[in-house]
Structure 1
Amino acid sequence: ENPSARLSFSCFFCPRNGPVYVKNPHLDLMDEDILYHLDLGTKTHNLPAMFGDIKFVCVGGSPNRMKAFAQFMHKELGLEGDGKDIKDICAGTDRYSMYKVGPVLSISHGMGVPSISIMLHELIKLLHHAKCCDVTIIRIGTSGGLGIEPGSVVITDIAVDSFFKPQFEQVILDNVVVRSTELDRDLAEELLEYSRECKDFPTLLGHTMCTYDFYEGQGRLDGALCSFSHEKKLEYLKRAYNAGVRNIEMESTVFAAMCRLCGLKAAVVCVTLLNRLEGDQIRAPHEVLVEYQQRPQKLISVFIKKRLGLWNAQKLIDNVVV
């Protein structure tokens, strides 16, 4: 039997940072808040009872990947059962999938800024209504690398836009609002330190560039439309590399901006599926890509177990000679 299965997760934490807060005075005037895309609500569900013990939120694009991560964490935390019948809390909607394992919430966000933005609005309100305290939120995903080995895990130090600026532009009514994309530096450094426990893949700190498009917006030559040359593409990507960019994805700037405004400690940890300086199409075999996608999950598992005080206990168990 795994002794960690008997531990109470709540005992490891105190509300150092207070509850998750929202920056919307209109919410106080509402009799009920319906989290439509999550199939949850303040009157239909007891959100503090369901989610009040959440300390870690992990988000990623694919519903299947986030279910697999939840099942992985179920095993890593030594919880009862095999985790195969884990319940999708958002089963009443086809937009997102959400799974809870102990103090960990695993939720999909789809692809691109608009999709993750909708999910984050409702997720942050959910954490607020549930009176969650001291929450860390991490995006785990895939990306295209720049000048680094495929399979490398990039911990984002700064999320930048397509002009390599650390900002997110949000159109609100008819105004362009610019928001900072600063992430928690201490959290990034902590994750980098814990990556030493994952010796089978390289991990590094680097800038992550967020785009609004997978094809032209990322300088690909293989989309249905393309208005630039191979030389122009390489010139742009090399400028991005020289600016500190080590990977490219489609969610990090809005993720960083929204989490920062709501006081959430946030990090972005993505594996690279290819080196964009060498090509545009992902050609690695399926089994290789599956293993790549597990790499950020392994690092975050180490992080969560260390935060919960389970890592050293598990290492002692593993070293016991029967």
Structure 2
Amino acid sequence: MPCDCVAVEGRAPHQNGCKKSANGAAAASHHPHRKTYDEETEGAEERHVNDLRYPDGSVRLRNPHIELMDQDILYHLALGSGSHDLVEMFGDVKFVCMGGTPKRMEQFAHTIMAEIGHKLPCGTTLQDISQFSYRYSMYKVGPVLSVSHGMGIPSVGILLHELIKLMYHARVREPVFFRIGTCGGVGYEGGTVVISEEAVDGSLKNALDVNVLGNTISRPAKLDKRLVRELRGLADPEDPYDTVTGKTMCTYDFYEGQGRLDGAFCEFNESDKMEYLERIHKAGVVNIEMESLAFAALTHHAGIKAAVVCVTLLDRLKGDQVLAPKEVLDEWQQRPTKLVCRYIKRYLQMKGRLSLDGHGSIAVKSPRRFKLVQQESETYD
């Protein structure tokens, strides 16, 4: 059987790495023109993302009702499409970085500001754009948004709905979302950085089940494979810790849902717990947390490239409680931040966009509506 490869510029067939087996067939593992599984899935992901964007790369909402509204109030961010000039405020955003607590994301904002050489106008400081929401904190550092997402699937889900709408109203092109956080390792010691390949629930299902009007809808919880590979490639061999990839199990609960024996309720024993943890470990789960399933499912559904980078605080195969000293935990929590900063800095260097001026200030479109949005966010329950 003849080889089906074609001549590559300057080369004849069979000189570009193609090898024949004994029966004359090209060996698939060495064929330069046969796509691997990863390449095919990455191609499918690219097509999915492109299908959900406008031709200029900006985010397209999967909700026809928004365009018919007089204004869209983002309650939990204390922003609105009628009250704020969202294009002016956020139109240059490229990266949205999310983490659990307001303090951690304020620290991240200062870190990324130093990394990319962002300068604030003299006499100004970073501003919490969503301070009047009293729910989430948001800081803008040039093309980077740093936002706290709270704890658990409901909290991160609410935030993502409004952040995705914010991207739409601001006409942001090809945004990249990161979740930076902490987790429990499964077979990995505390301090290990984990880049999630995909998110699964407690039964290892790679989808988020959402109840809509009494019906259960399953949304695939996919993360961008190319982004995972690029992040993994930025792990420095000199780092005094391991950086690994694998499946992330996301639960709806910190105690029973994660198989802990130290909650207020526990109706299983140590043997049951260990059997479960060993089983999910063999299935490829390397860490456990509480936000990745919603984060992966909603960003994928919106056609937004996203990645989850966490640091383990303990190995769950060895215990349930976090016992490392605070100063150690503080250093560990900087490790995912360093990796994401490397990615952002490299991207901006390639685009020639380092040392950016400006400061995420509020751009008011309508003072009356601006005041109403603040009042709505303060009183909304």
Q: TM-score, normalised by structure 1?
A: 0.90
1:167 Cα offset (Å) = 1.0
Residue equivalent to 1:214: 254
Conserved in 2, the CA contact under 8 Å of 1:76 and 1:301?
Answer: yes
Amino acid at match of 1:174: G
1:195 aligns with 2:235: yes
Change over 3 Å in CA distance of 1:198–1:252 after alignment to 2: farther
Question: TM-score, normalised to structure 2's length?
Answer: 0.76
3-state SS of the aligned residue for 1:71? Answer: helix
* Identity %, equivalent residues: 53
Match of residue 233, structure 1, among 273, 291, 306: 273
Is the 1:147–1:277 contact (alpha carbons within 8 Å) kept by the matching residues of 2? Answer: yes
Local SS of the residue matching 1:18 = coil
Number of residue equivalences:
300
Q: Is residue 2:268 matched to residue 1:258? A: no
Q: In structure 2, what is the equivalent of residue 24 of structure 1?
A: 63
Equivalent in 168, 193, 204 of residue 244 of structure 2: 204
**Is 1:48 aligned to residue 61 of structure 2?**
no
Counterpart position of 2:45: none
User: Could you tell me which amino acid in structure 2 is paired with residue 151 of structure 1?
Assistant: G
After superposition, the CA RMSD in angstroms is: 1.9
Contact 1:187/1:266, CA 8 A, preserved across alignment: yes
TM alignment of 1:137-148, pairs within 5 A = 137-148=177-188
Counterpart residue number, 2:196: 156
Is 284-293 or 301-310 further displaced after alignment? 301-310
- CA distance 1:313–1:87, shift in 2 (3 Å): closer
User: Aligned to 1:294, which of 334, 342, 358?
Assistant: 334
Q: Distance in 1 between matches of 2:317 and 2:134?
A: 36
- Corresponding position: 1:276 with 2:316: yes
> 1:27-84: CA deviations, max 9, x gaps?
1110100000000001110000000000001001111000000000011111224999
Residue 150 of structure 2 corresponds to residue 110 of structure 1: yes
* In 1: Cα distance, 2:255 partner to 2:148 partner: 22
| 1:68 correspondence with 2:107 | yes
Query: Unmatched 5+ residue regions in structure 2?
Result: 1-53, 355-381
Stretches of 4+ aligned residues off by more than 4 angstroms: 81-84, 310-314
Shift of 1:134: 1.3
Give structure 1 stretches of 5+ with no counterpart: 1-14, 315-322
Judged with a 3 Å threshold, the aligned counterparts in structure 2 of structure 1 residues 222 and 75 are, in CA distance, closer, same or farther, namely: same
The one-letter code matched in structure 1 to 2:320 is: D
Structure 2: which amino acid aligns with 1:67?
Answer: E
Q: Choose 1 or 2 for highest CA Rg.
A: 2
The match for 2:140 is 100
In structure 1, distance between residues paired with 2:353 and 2:241? 24
Q: 1:312–1:235: structure 2 CA closer, same or farther, 3 Å change rule?
A: farther
2: CA distance, partners of 1:70 / 1:164: 34
- In the alignment, does 2:77 pair up with 1:77? no
C-alpha distance in 2, partners of 1:144/1:135?
A: 28
| Pick aligned residue for 2:282 from 200, 219, 242 | 242
Q: Which amino acid aligns with 2:157?
A: S
